[in-house]
Amino acid sequence: MTPTLKVSGIHKAFGAVVVANDVNFTISKGECIGVIGPNGAGKSSLFSLIAGSLRQDAGEIWLNGENLSNVPAHKRVKAGIGRAFQIPQPFAGLSVYENVLSAGAAGAGFRGSELIDWTCSVLDRTGLRDKADTLAGALTLLDRKNLEVAKAVATNAHLLMLDEIGAGLTDGEVARLVEQIAELKQDHAIIWIEHIAHALKRVANRIIVLNFGELVADGPPDDVMASPIVREIYMGLKVDDAD
């Protein structure tokens, strides 16, 4: 079966800083991959490479069997790549409804009553229906992060890339987020960059670990979290000392 996303041999460097070093993985609908790694490891850069706002030095990005490696970012949105940014970027002076509507029009190409129905369904799926009339600039942190996810869903994405949307939330809020991602996973392939390990473990099918742009682990959450390489990266333990 053709995967939703195939990242093949992606390489990118800014001068001496390598942010992606021959990165390879695939993901399909119904799957959630958690991405972890230290600050500056290249996690957000990987999203930019997949989204097309950064261009790779080598390697290929495939979506649903289509080679998008040289396709500009706005066309990748239309092809089905949705991204929730690490720092939410709503139109602060527009309502939640208007923000989601804009994403549905620009990203998914819906118009008229179809666009209105689509917008309402996205607001329902992301728990924002009762905030529809609130100005985006007046939202709480949780709802701003929700809106960031809703805008990505509204583009009718096949692939959702979520960048640290749990950061700064309370335990209860993170639990709600995990439930929501579990629901969205039924219709999407999801890549979630997050530092909150217990949240990732509850919803991710796999975890990949980036370190200096290199994918150093890819496997089931429990195995990856217990692996010597993760203990070495996060706790400074040498692989030999890890047990």
Residues contributing to the site for ligand ATP (CB under 6 A): 14, 17, 19, 37, 39-45, 86
Stretch of 7-15, 36-44, 90-98, 215-223 lying at the interface with Mg ion (CB under 5 A): 36-44
Q: Which sign, positive or negative, has the C-alpha torsion 172, 175, 177, 183? A: negative
Q: How many CA atoms lie within 13 A of 152 on its CB side?
A: 29
113 binds, among ligand ATP, Mg ion, none (CB under 5 to 8 A by kind): none
Question: Smallest distance, Å, CB 16 to ligand ATP?
Answer: 10
Instruction: Confirm if 146 and 90 have CB atoms less than 8 A apart.
Output: no
User: Is the separation of the CB atoms in 163 and 195 below 8 Å?
Assistant: no
167 vs 175 by CB, closer to ligand ATP? 167
- In what side-by-side order are the strands of the sheet with 5-14? 17-27, 5-14, 58-63, 66-67
Of 38 and 228, the one with the shorter C-beta distance to Mg ion is 38
CA distance 241 to 6: 35
Q: Which of 6, 32, 36, 44 binds Mg ion (CB under 5 A)?
A: 44
Q: Point out the residue whose Cβ comes nearest to Mg ion.
A: 44
Give least dist CB 64 to Mg ion, A: 26
Least CB distance from residue 195 to ligand ATP, whole Å? Answer: 7
Asked if 211 touches Mg ion (CB under 5 A), the answer is: no
Those residues with Cβ within 8 angstroms of residue 38's Cβ, 6 or more apart along the chain or in another chain: 211, 233, 234
